[in-house]
Structure 1
């Protein structure tokens, strides 16, 4: 019996519009679908020409132009309720100043000063930056809470950011900001893009922190 529905297709296509090329593991985390359900919806989307698969060293699933058209149709058919829309708009507005703080913390993680890259040999310095990240994390949890209560996928960002932060505290320095590593920075960027897409906004100067 099939479990693929317009809602699961919408979840998949929205995740791909946010992420771009995405592995199955990341898609499962973004959509909340288990392995079997994810395989089923990807297979159906492939058959319909909504996505394509890339194999090789950098593998995963991508949305196609036809998939973007279908996503627009599904968003029109399943719009946010007024309550959901108000909550996401408020989350986006509250996100922007925290985003600026996060960018400054990331800059400190990457560079100790204007000319000295952070090679992570100074554990005292790293601990101070991680403490700053902890404070940013506390802020973003508060920012997302009202919207996450009514738009389920936003709650998944809470969980994924918390896990990435846990990995940083466990000593995985790459879990802070390494690209394509499901790092805290990766997930933060996805959240930012999700808020833009969900509210129908284009990235502007305010989004640059």
Structure 2
């Protein structure tokens, strides 16, 4: 059974996977109109599940602890309705070795950028290290979306960022863009939220 997550759940869940974000960023992430996303988030705020803070000219949403717990309850109910809990857990176990590769590659590159990394770590070697996880992510995503459509897009986003990295290395770990590291972090958070796990 393939499940389409309700829009109000998508909006709340995106706040968790992104960590925080303004309405435009959250709307872009879930492919919904910004006014609709803002309405869902205002409803969530009324229940104490999200808070909105101002940073200069921007308002950003973040999840509260009760919002995190509520979101996990919604995702658990969705997962159980699909009957795919065991399969998603298996996919997550298959994801973990790739997660180690991506995490190590990104950490080494961050150290290089700070001038603290070993001399044998280059941009080319980092991109090479990320290519196999990028390729295998296609299969991971296909298995996930057989049950939960909201996992669609991670592979395209990751490969697009990796393709840009040779010309602009910030696409590997940059926090100001949809970088490889940020996308992979979101996917990991999506999986653990879905399964009710911790990192």
Q: TM-score range by the shorter chain?
A: 0.7 to 0.9
1:58-77 to structure 2, matched below 5 A, reads 59-75=59-75, 77=77
Deviation at 1:192, TM superposition (A): 1.0
Contact 2:76-2:196 at 8 Å conserved across structures = no
Higher normalized contact order (CA 8 Å, seq sep 6+, divided by chain length): 2
Match of 1:207 in 2: none
Aligned counterparts, 1:2-151, within 5 A: 7-57=6-56, 59-75=59-75, 77-111=77-111, 116-117=116-117, 125-151=122-148
Closer/same/farther in 2, CA of residues 44 and 92 from structure 1, 3 Å limit: same
Give the Cα–Cα distance (whole angstroms) in 2 for the partners of residues 78 and 109 of structure 1: 37
RMSD between aligned residues = 3.0
- 1:165/1:37 CA distance change after superposition, 3 Å: farther
Superposition pairs of residues 163-178 of structure 1, within 5 angstroms: 163-169=160-166, 171-178=167-174
State the secondary structure of the residue aligned to 1:55: strand
Give me the whole-angstrom Cα distance separating, in 1, the residues matched to 2:37 and 2:47: 15
**Equivalent residues, number:** 192
Contact 2:108-2:117 at 8 Å conserved across structures: no
State the TM-score, normalizing by the size of structure 2. Answer: 0.78
Equivalent residue, structure 2, for 1:198: 194
Counterparts in 2 of 1:141 and 1:72: CA distance versus 1, 3 Å: closer
Distance 1:189 1:55, change over 3 A: same
Offset, 1:69: 4.9
Aligned to 1:154: 151
CA distance in 2, matches of 1:25, 1:167: 23
Q: Summarize deviations over 1:144-197 as a string: whole Å, max 9, x none.
A: 22112221121132232233223324x221121123533211121111121111
CA gap of 1:163–1:44, structure 2 versus 1, over 3 A, is farther
* Distance (whole Å) between structure 2 residues aligned to residue 93 and residue 48 of structure 1: 34
Query: What TM-score, normalized by structure 1, do the two folds share?
Result: 0.75
CA offsets, 1:46-78, max 9 Å, x none? 344432211114741112344345435534654
Alpha carbons of structure 1 residues 70 and 105: separation in structure 2 relative to 1, 3 Å: closer
Gaps of 5+ in 1: 1-5, 204-209
